[in-house]
Structure 1
Amino acid sequence: MADFAIKALTVETFGDFAALVERNKGMFASCWCTHFHPDCAEKAQSAEGNRALKERLVADGIAHAALVYDGDRAVAWAEYGSPEELPNIQHRKEYVATAERLPDYRVTCILVERSFRGQGLAAIALRGAVELIAQAGGGRVEGYPHDTGGVRKKNSSFLYNGTRAMYEREGFTYDRPKGLGNCVMVREVAPSTRG
């Protein structure tokens, strides 16, 4: 297996992120990974508008992701952020009704470039997001993966946030169901001691 590096999504790495998204046709409906951010006038107008929105959110420090690099090319990412930064989760009404407390961070989207799938990069991206959260002070982290019962029932293109089994391997525990095919997974992340 090749060595993959993790970098945070920043103004400096936005071009690498943009190249990855463009190679993947803007993601689902050209959303540019803006779907989970708060609604605003720019969102969902066009691929160009979503790209500009994402770039502005990154510049403002309110859009986060762990980018997975193969050499100098970003090939995967895991989007994460606070509930305020990423409020538009799927099955939100049910989620709020069953939540005992909100997390400090949530992981909302994981993408692996098609030609790199099957190499464990979704787990590497999730691990990278957890490491970046630890560097930011840690806290309660939630993810909302597909609960496939350990059997791949969906094309990997539609597993936008990985699987329950992957989250369990990365130290998350099952909390509750969310919608028909997803669940809430939780992990307490300690602050990083790395300087």
Structure 2
Amino acid sequence: MDSALAVRALDESTWAAFAELVEANNGVWGGCWCVGFHVKLGKGRTAAQNRAEKEQRVRDGETHAALVFDGDRCLGWCQFGSPDELPEIKSRRLYEKGLTTLPDWRITCFFTGKGLRGRGVADAALGGAIAEISRLGGGVVEGYPEETDDRKVSGSFLHTGPMAAFEKHGFTRTRPISPHRWVVTRTVA
């Protein structure tokens, strides 16, 4: 990890840096603005609507992310929140089939800006998310990473994070929910 990296929570004071990174990267995956796990993204929703939704959630304290900074520049993030805050997850049918109890927290999404990968941003963001979850009371945390199995995987498929990062941070594989995606869990004090 780059020693100059710092992690800060997404809030009103960091919104401008977050928004600058999103805007520099086409709204993230064509205009998601990191609301795809908050609400169902369907036809007719615009990037402007997603931006307004995310900004309102930040103002209302209804969204959480660990933002990674190099100085004043936001490089990427890891989004997390309660199941109520982040109800939309990938592979829902298989997820619900094996569900016994909901976790206290979900880690749903990672993003690193174009040209900024390979600096440890995702690792720093995941560590920051775990620290923030601990500060907020801890509990059972789930993630839904992609297992790369030494295969080349496009960054767009790794938006839920790479398995290696979760395992490095003490998560355990619980059950598969797609050919290459797993539910992983860890209890945070």
User: TM bucket by the smaller chain?
Assistant: over 0.9
Inter-partner Cα distance in structure 1 for 2:8 and 2:47: 24
**Structure 1 pair 126–44 and aligned structure 2 pair: CA distance change class (3 A):** farther
**C-alpha distance after superposition, 1:10-55 (max 9, x if no partner):** 01111111001011110113110010003499x9621111100000
Inter-partner Cα distance in structure 2 for 1:45 and 1:156: 24
Alignment of 1:170-189 (within 5 A): 170-189=169-188
4+ runs deviating over 6 angstroms: none
Inter-partner Cα distance in structure 2 for 1:100 and 1:23: 40
Letter in 2 for 1:119: R
Inter-partner Cα distance in structure 2 for 1:44 and 1:7: 33
In the TM superposition, what is the alpha-carbon distance from 1:155 to its structure 2 partner? 2.0
**Structure 1 pair 57–40 and aligned structure 2 pair: CA distance change class (3 A):** farther
Q: Name 1:118's counterpart in structure 2.
A: 118
What secondary structure is seen at the aligned counterpart in 2 of 1:116?
coil
Q: Name 1:93's counterpart in structure 2.
A: 93
Inter-partner Cα distance in structure 1 for 2:103 and 2:174: 12
Question: Structure 2: which 5+ runs fail to align?
Answer: none
Q: Name 1:56's counterpart in structure 2.
A: 56
Inter-partner Cα distance in structure 2 for 1:157 and 1:36: 15
Percent identity between the two aligned chains = 46
Alignment of 1:112-191 (within 5 A): 112-149=112-149, 151-190=150-189
Q: Name 2:16's counterpart in structure 1.
A: 15
Inter-partner Cα distance in structure 2 for 1:182 and 1:111: 17
Aligned residues: 188
Question: Structure 1: which 5+ runs fail to align?
Answer: 191-195
Letter in 2 for 1:164: M
**Structure 1 pair 143–12 and aligned structure 2 pair: CA distance change class (3 A):** same
Conserved 8 A contact 2:91-2:178: yes
Inter-partner Cα distance in structure 1 for 2:144 and 2:30: 20
Q: Which moved more, 1:32-41 or 1:118-127?
A: 32-41
TM-score (norm 2): 0.94
